[in-house]
Structure 1
Amino acid sequence: MAGLSLNACGITFWATVFLVASTGATPVDSSSSTSRCKVYPGDAAWPSDDAWAKLNKATDNRLLIKPEPQASVCYNGPLYDAAKCAELTTDWGRSYTHFDDPIEMMSPVAQGMTCLPPDVFNSHNCTRGGFPMYVINATEPKHVQLGVDFARETGVRLIIKNTGHDFLGKSGGKDSLSIWTHHFKSIDYIEKFEDEKLGYSGPAFKAGVGVQAFEIYKAAHDKGRAVVGGEGETVGIFGGYIQGGGHSPLSSLYGTGADQVLSFDVVTADGKFVVANSTSNPDLFWAMRGGGGSTFGVATAVTVKAHPDMPTTASRFGFTSEKIGNETFWAGVRTYVDYFIPNADAGTYAYFLLLPNITTGIFSFKMSPFFAPNKTLEQTTTLLQPWFTRLNDLGITFDPNITHFDSYYDAWKSSFPLEVVEKINATTGSRMFPRANFETEAKRDELLNNLRKSSENNRVQVHFNIKAVDPSNADNAVNPAWRPNILFAQQAVRWPVNATSAEILKIRQDFQTGDMQRWRDSSPGAGSYLAEADRLEPNFGQAFFGTNYPRLLELKTKWDPEDVFFVTTGVGSERWKVESVDGLPNENGKLCRVTT
């Protein structure tokens, strides 16, 4: 399929001659310094209704025009429906409420907070904010090609959306054209995939980019296999997750999600539909395995390694400081830190939370879960027992609830909580703490003090004791900070629901210069995970891509010289800025070139 392109059938010609002609404007060169911003409604170059109608016809009538935010049913107007609003409000925090919607983003803070159910957050009216104006509900590569060509030739901002999972709001953009890839749902099992250059010979799955974790895990289970993907059940595994690296409950055994990729089907910025693998477009293949989604092209299908299914053991438990006091509580957490390296080296994945309650002064530890793929009940108990003994010696009581499952799928389905989304007054920063942070008692003490200080500053923390093995010395764009990682740590900053824009920005900036800077200072040269991070992360090129960033910038220029694709904190995004209407880091504003 290498080199396969519908351009030969005249798509680019159709876009330039018919679409642009119907606008009455000259084709926009989005790389030109004279075009400071992308094209927006009201601009002379904004495509006419006739142009959009032609795009709709060419995409088999799959163009959605001004899709309404779901919460429109809660506000006065033709869509008002009190019963639907009440139902929506009840389920607003569940990812299942949002992933099958053409425009909804699971981060309202990144969207601009312009249309939420009033009982969740009263925006007083419902406006589109950071949502797109047009959406192509793509089901074939040609639909993607047409959207890319249209955006490139007209200068309209283009965004790519799958499920809307992203802390930073990369699937949104005010008054943009969105290509919605959620319905690329094919799953094909390949009994034996061979790539001599990659050194792989074995089973694989080729899946459309709209396939989600709960779908691919079930399909793999049915074949007696397991696939590396995230713990969140509704995440689109083959979209931004896998292109950004992607940590997994199987990473300590097999590496990141991007390490599993054998091939991409992708539409590039010039509208061509190509294959990127070890021998066809290998530089694009390198970049898309870890260099970030919606940056070098639009993937429509991905082929990944399939691993043998395996028995798995999981443990879920918790304890609090309520009866034992804060000093004993933190002593218990400190004992756990001693086992981060051996647990990760044993191939396990621990997902745990540190939850502060500043009102009561009580701190909570929640293991949700300790996940041990390919380990028996006895092996897992033996691994955990030294830590459990020390907790018991401290007088900390808990029920380890160690449970064995016959398959990875059953363990995953039973052990991980459903994602909580739509947080209205919080954002999350993250840091990868490498092995060096745990090799001495002094460094482990320092790590514990950092975590404790963040909890005392009212930061909810989510942690993953995990390493990302480097399978066969994979040569890809995965952030090199993943390789020595032992603890991937997140902490969230919150602000009053009724805070002003200026107050929110100040709180977020102080968070970066305070708690997040402490974490950075204690892990020099490490990094952050681009999909679970803060838009205000300083020096994002180094943090999210490490030493790969210079090469990724070169490949961005090669494969997308006109910056057809943009996502905040993505490769090359420093050339652009969303000029939000409230001055906050969100998608509610025009995307314009940064001027010096």
Structure 2
Amino acid sequence: MATRACVLLWLSVSGAVAQHGTSTASGASASTTASATATLVPTNGAVPLFHYEEQQLTTASLSDLSDTEAALFSFDSINVTSENTTSYVNYTLASSGDCKIFPGDSAWPALSAWKVLDTLAGGALVKTVPAASVCYFNGTSKHNDTACRALTSNWTDSYSHLEDPVEMLSPVYQGLTCQPPSLYNSGNCTLGGYPVYATNVSNVAQIQAAVNFARNTGIRLVIKNTGHDFSGKSGGAGSLSIFTHNLKDIDYIPSYNDATTNYSGPAFKAGAGVQAYEIYAAARDEGLVVVGGEGQTVGVMGGYIQGGGHSPLSSIHGMAADQVLNFEVVTADGRFTTGNAQKNSDLFWALRGGGGSTFGIVTSVVVKAYPDMQVTTSTFSFTSASVSQDTFWAGVRAYFSYFPTNADAGTYSYFFILPSVPSAGEFEFLMQPFFAPNKTLNETQALLQPWFSELSALGISISPKTQHFSSFWDAWNASFPLEAVEKTHVASASRLWPRRNWDNSTILNSTFEAIKANSEAGLTIIAFNQAPTWANGGYQDNSVNPAWRETICHMLTSVNWLNNSTTSEILTARHNFTFGYMQRWRDLSPGAGSYLGESDRLEPDFQWAFYGSFYPRLLALKKQYDPRNLLWAATAVGSEFFEVQSVDGLPNENGRLCTKTDPSLYVAQGPDWVPS
């Protein structure tokens, strides 16, 4: 293809990309990176496209390419949003053991093909060079000691990785092949589970070009927004990544009216790359709040909202996915479309809870907004250092009795049970924070006082820092900690403890003893007392795991191993964790589930755990919207048919993606259903 043809094609689909402000890398106190502009919306619910969404790849654009080159970027012959799609979709799996095209294969695209993609994407294609490569030798000379020290000093700060199109914030799933040596010596620096290339997209046309290229060549495609994921979904060896982080536009919609969704009120349209601190600031500036996560840098409009999304406001307004009014999305056939209650309503249903990297690549989301509110928070801790272990645990157990009352009052607590010195039998309880939306200082103190009185009677001394804030932003920004990333020897799992486990003291005591056992074994516990029920958030016809509607506590626990552990030792630790400690939790909450966004990659019967009774419908929609299996992610809908053939035998992305060789593994058993 002539270079001029590529340039002409690029000019035909692109234009001036909207400019945004920049964030400081110092936390959520920075102003929002995207200013919100007011947009009026017709009463039929139609939402104007962002400028970057108007820049689309078209069949006419491909006429400037040679036939061979055009074939790399042509749209699929199957139009997955066609009303007749189901009549000709063929979801027949490839032969067992067949794999996505991998570097070194004869069918791997030639360098010239990648250059065409880069030119077509306006120079947005990035060849992966791991950030920590500056710390390793290249031949006989070390790259850059100064750069390595600077990199290492900020490595665990999630803000330091925001602009990196390939870095995985859970490097255990990358394969740990290029970490700063002083934190984890990888021995050398290789790509491992990093993609080979990433497309740093700034418009829809670039996404479409990457989608079509990956589908037509047979290489693996992965999606990365911010990389906040506990299962390694944003990586993949031998893959092409679509990096959506820079889709930052935000529009304020003063009046969104749509009879189909029965919603009339303010809303925001936000790009897929918008993060929590950005959308919260935009809402604050309009005197509003939206339902988003507690973590500052989480990409709210990406995998978070598609996986359900719990929030400090969940006990009042429900899950983040409950707030969605409209999606713009590039589907696996390369076409750009809309999903809402009126158009592609089944896709709209699936994207609201059915998981990211599954049904398409979302470019923007419209979400409901609510009036800003006062918030009171309280932060405190106590340890077993000054009291007996029995007394410490009695104090923690006393708190559990108040879960239903507190959640039903609309609160959200974020607490830790930490084995501070496990060998000495010392433990710490840390509340950081107790978050009470729409509550005065006196109302919050009244909620906490019964438990505080019990602690005092036990001889447990606390010094709570209880503060009242006039706005959600101020309370959120001041109260939630910035979580560390890049943990090299940790695996986590979660459980959605159902309200029925609080029905009587017998089941509650058994539940507490199982949680206590994990802590006494040296496992970290992080938990959220909340109740994102239909009653509080209003019934939503979406694919959020039904287990969330019965949840009174979402709880994570984590296992650690030594950095120099062997593969056998790591597998043993992970097996004992998943099928030992976590099995006890599952046994005590039959039919409940786990949170897709904070999950165990090895979760047994993941179909039921993450999706519940909605899984059969979700799998059918996966077959419709991705009939050629372009999109795959660990624990995603349809992932049971494939596996990563990891080079080290560990559960990570460091290996080929292939169809499973054991067909029996395709079948998932749930408490109430068996998919066909």
TM range (shorter): over 0.9
1:418 match: secondary structure: coil
> Counterparts of 1:20 and 1:192 in 2: how far apart (Å)?
43
Point out where structure 1 has 5 or more consecutive residues left out of the alignment: none
Q: Which amino acid is 1:374 matched to?
A: N
Cα distance in 2, alignment partners of residues 444 and 12 from structure 1: 63
Does structure 2 retain, via aligned residues, the 8 Å contact 1:391–1:397?
yes
**Aligned-pair distance for 1:31?**
6.1
- Superposed displacement of residue 15, structure 1: 9.0
Distance (whole Å) between structure 2 residues aligned to residue 16 and residue 299 of structure 1: 30
User: Which residue in the other structure is 2:337 paired with?
Assistant: 274
What does residue range 513-528 of structure 1 map to in structure 2 within 5 Å? 513-528=579-594
Residue 19 and residue 573 in structure 1: after superposition, are their counterparts in 2 closer, same or farther (change >3 A)? farther
Q: 1:498 aligns with which of 560, 564, 571?
A: 564
Is 1:487 the equivalent of 2:553? yes
Confirm or deny: 8 A CA contact 1:355 1:364 kept in the other structure: yes
* Alpha-carbon contact 1:353-1:366 (below 8 Å) kept: yes
Matched, 1:577 2:643: yes
Distance 2:638 2:215 in 1: 17
**Is 1:70 aligned to residue 136 of structure 2?**
no
> What root-mean-square deviation, in Å, do the aligned CA atoms of Structure 1 and Structure 2 show?
2.0
472, 487, 504: which is aligned to 1:408? 472
d(CA) in 2 for partners of 1:348, 1:283: 33
- The counterpart of 2:456, out of the listed 372, 386, 392, is 392
Q: Which amino acid in 1 is paired with 2:68?
A: F
* C-alpha contact 1:336 1:387 (8 A) present in aligned 2: yes
- CA offset at residue 477 of structure 1? 0.4
Name the structure 2 match of 1:290: 353
Specify the alignment match of 1:106 in structure 2: 169
- Residue 517 of structure 2: SS of its match in structure 1? helix
Question: Residue 472 of structure 1: CA displacement?
Answer: 2.8
C-alpha distance 70-169 of structure 1, shift in aligned 2 (>3 A): same
In 2, Cα distance between equivalents of 1:458 and 1:10: 61
Q: Residue type matched to 1:524 in 2? A: P
- Structure 2 CA distance, aligned partners of 1:295 and 1:347? 32
Equivalent residues of 2:231, 2:599 under 8 A apart? yes
Change (3 A) 1:555 1:161: same
Tell me what 1:192 maps to.
255
CA distance in 1, matches of 2:637, 2:69: 29
Is 1:568 equivalent to 2:634 in the alignment? yes
Q: Aligned partners of 2:566 and 2:71: how far apart in 1? A: 45
**Of the candidates 51, 56, 59, which is equivalent to residue 9 of structure 1?**
59
Supply the AA of the counterpart residue of 2:114. Answer: W
d(CA) in 1 for partners of 2:67, 2:648: 38
Map of 1:367 onto structure 2: 431
Question: 2:497 corresponds to which residue?
Answer: 433
Matched residue SS, 2:209: helix
What displacement does 1:14 show?
8.1
- AA aligned to 1:76 is F
Report the more deviating stretch, 42-51 or 554-563: 42-51
Shift of residue 187, structure 1, vs aligned partner? 0.4
Q: How does 1:230-249 map to 2 (within 5 A)?
A: 230-249=293-312
Q: Secondary structure at the match of 2:424?
A: coil
Q: Which residue of 1 aligns with 2:195?
A: 132
Identity of aligned residues (%): 52
- The one of 567, 580, 586 equivalent to 2:652 is 586
Partner of 2:388: 325
Give 1:11 deviation, angstroms.
6.4
Count of aligned pairs: 591
* Cα pair 1:31 1:563 within 8 Å, conserved: no
The aligned counterpart of 1:464 is 528
8 Å contact 1:30–1:152 — kept in the other structure? no
Task: Say if 1:419 and 1:12 are closer, same or farther in 2 by CA, change over 3 A.
Answer: farther
Q: 1:175-234 deviations in whole A, cap 9, x for unaligned?
A: 200000000000000000111111100000000010111111111000000010000000
Residues 568-577 or 97-106, more deviating = 97-106
Q: Following TM superposition, by how much is the alpha carbon of 1:79 offset from its aligned partner in structure 2, in angstroms?
A: 7.1
1:355 is displaced (CA, Å) by 0.4
Instruction: Provide the rounded CA distance (Å) in 2 between the counterparts of 1:122 and 1:241.
Output: 31
Alpha-carbon distance between aligned partners in 1 of 2:181 and 2:416, rounded to the nearest angstrom = 29
Checking the alignment, whether the CA contact within 8 Å between 1:466 and 1:488 is kept in structure 2 is yes
Three-state SS of the structure 2 residue aligned to 1:228 is coil
Q: Distance in 1 between matches of 2:562 and 2:286?
A: 49
Q: 1:405 to 1:16 in 2, by over 3 A?
A: farther
Distance change >3 Å, CA 342–CA 7, structure 1 → 2 = same
| Residues 1:43 and 2:105 are matched in the alignment | yes
Q: Which residue of 1 aligns with 2:377?
A: 314
Map of 1:86 onto structure 2:
149
Question: Is 1:546 aligned with 2:612?
Answer: yes
8 Å contact from structure 2 (residues 318, 538) kept in 1 = no
Code of the residue aligned with 1:9 in structure 2: it is T
> Contact between 1:320 and 1:363, CA under 8 Å: does it hold in 2?
yes
Q: Any idea what SS the aligned residue of 1:432 has? A: strand
Structure 2 match to 1:341: 404
Give a deviation string over 1:212-267, Cα, whole Å, max 9, x none.
Answer: 11111111000000010000000000000000000000000001110010000000
**TM-score, normalised by the number of residues in structure 1:** 0.96
- Is 1:18 aligned with 2:68? yes
CA distance in 2, matches of 1:274, 1:14: 24
**Superposition TM-score, scaled by structure 2 size:** 0.85
Which stretch shows the higher mean deviation, 109-118 or 2-11? Answer: 2-11
Which residue of 392, 407, 414 maps to 1:351? 414
Q: State which of 506, 515, 535 in structure 2 corresponds to 1:451.
A: 515
Residues 266, 369 of structure 2: 8 Å contact kept: yes
